[in-house]
Amino acid sequence: MTFKLFEKLFLLFFSMMLLLLSLVIVAVHFNFKQGLTAYLQKIELQKLEPFALELSDFFDKQKSWEPLREDNAWSAWVAHSSLAKNPVSTQPIQTPLSTDATWIDMARISVVDQNNVYIVGAPVTANAFYFSTEYKLPISAKATPNDKGKTDTIGYLIVKPNPLITDLLLVHFMESQLQGYLWIMAFALLLSLFLAFLMARQILSPLQHITAGMRLLASGNFSVQIPLAKKSHDELATLSKDFNILSRALAQSEQARQQWLADISHELRTPLAVLRGEIEALVDGVRPTTPERLQSLEQEVLSLTRLVDDLYQLSLSDLGALDYQFHAVELIGHFKMLIVSFQNRFASRHITLSFDTNAHQATVNGDAMRLVQLFSNLLENSYRYTHDHGLCRVTLLHTTERIIVYIEDSAPSVHFDELPHLFERFHRVDKSRQRQTGGAGLGLAICQNIVKAHNGKIHAQTSELGGIRIVVELPTF
């Protein structure tokens, strides 16, 4: 038989409360019995105080306890003592509670001297009262107080407890209070049931909301948000907050996916439409088939190929499927080769390309091919968007813990608010930075993934040259 979580929590809380109630009842019973025993002892000791004074007078006259040891001396002396004024029980009480319950049973009384040596009365084991429930009443001498201001103790009156009297009183009290106890226990049980139900429901309430929310998430509803308790800061409240964060993240991911598909469709539609129009014009004979027309078709195919390649590279980097071969890579040599390879293209548009560094060697732990791809994309991006007769400056700074690369260009620039979005896929900025050579806005997104794979950072700033500065930070080897 299986139990639901609510039933398990309910049974757990109810069992704990029932156990606590039982412990309280046992503790109250024990405490009451101890208190009753102490009270009866106090009563008996008060009744025996005159008897102890008479024993003190006896010792003062006889100067010894020995006369009490003689045959029948003890019983004869007790018969003429203060205890003889009240009936003395010689048998344990067998009847319910009555006034007889306070009688002193002489079979429970003994006398010992100041050294706890047995004199007369009920037999006791030597020093038994040290580790038993027996209680004693000191017998003080009638002599003048000693130098310490205390009277000498000449003996003790030992009284054995009568558990039967205590039990009878306790039973009688329980019988008289039984109905009240039953009502209290019934109320406590009902209260325990109610509290256990409330506690189990209170704990499971957030879980029920989370379960319902998970079902909605599984069905594709990523806009679901579960209610949060305002004053709750426990683990379930944290779990509820994390669920809402997850829901928002999934909603954003779904929105990004839909935007991604829309952007891909848009980017593919343009070159395909151009290709279709060019081919239809050639087929219909509207335009003659010339080498120039074929070259135009080739450019459109190359543009489409670059777009597909960028999409493929970006999807691989998103999945972490790009192959990285990490080893020590010396960046300065690679930058010098990149500058040489891009020099003619920049010069064709009269753009000055420069490289500067504060180090002779800058080594990082990375993949040389991917790092070359990273900085090639950044230089290509600068080449595409920088106006003719502009500037492109590459600076490499070597610090103790990292290598910082700045790639900045002259006008045009973008608005400050657009800078954080430059690394988003298919992001479009103002017209002054629109693509001129068929770029799809994927290059910087690929660069960002490559930098992250190298445990680095990349961000964009406004350049003092009038354009954009791309900052790449990589940890040193």
What pLDDT digit, counting tens, does each position of 201-251 carry? 777 777 778 888 888 888 888 888 887 767 766 777 788 888 888 888 888
Mean pLDDT of 277-287: 82
Reported confidence tier of residue 456, pLDDT bands at 50, 70, 90: very high
At residue 136, does pLDDT exceed 70? Answer: yes
- The pTM (predicted TM-score) of the whole model is 0.48
Question: How many Cα atoms occupy the beta-carbon half-sphere of 212 within 13 Å?
Answer: 9
Integer angstrom CA distances of residue 407 from 285, 467, 471 = 48, 10, 7
Last residue of a domain, one of 262, 296, 318: 318
pLDDT of 70 > 70? The answer is yes
Residue 302 and residue 372 share a domain: no
Look at 388 and 207; give whichever has higher pLDDT. Answer: 388
Q: Which domain holds residue 271?
A: 235-318
Lowest-pLDDT range of 76-80, 140-144, 299-303, 459-463: 140-144
What is the chain's mean pLDDT, rounded? 78
* Three-state secondary-structure class, residue 225: coil
Looking at the predicted structure, is the pLDDT value of residue 88 above 50? no
Q: What is the dihedral of CA 119, 121, 126, 131, to 10 degrees?
A: -130
Question: 276, 303, 318 — which closes off a domain?
Answer: 318
C-alpha torsion sign, points 122, 125, 129, 133: negative
Domain count within the chain: 3
* pLDDT-derived band at 428, boundaries 50, 70, 90: low
Query: What residues contact residue 226 under an 8 Å CB cut-off, 6+ apart?
Result: 206, 209, 210, 212, 213, 240, 243, 244
Residue 309 in domain: yes
Average pLDDT for 143-156:
68
Whether 106 and 247 share a structural domain? no
* DSSP letter, residue 151: P
At 164-185, the pLDDT tens digits run 666 666 667 666 666 677 787 7
- Could you tell me if residue 224 is inside a domain? no
pLDDT of 163 higher than 80: no
In this prediction, residue 2 carries a pLDDT of 66
CA angle 403, 407, 411 (to 5 degrees): 155
| Domain boundary, last residue among 135, 154, 170 | 170
Give the end-to-end CA distance of the chain in Å, rounded to a whole number: 61
Cα–Cα distance for residue pair 142/53, rounded to 1 Å? 9
pLDDT value, residue 296: 76
Return the HEC string of 119-145.
EEECCCCCCHHHCCCCEEEEEECCCCC
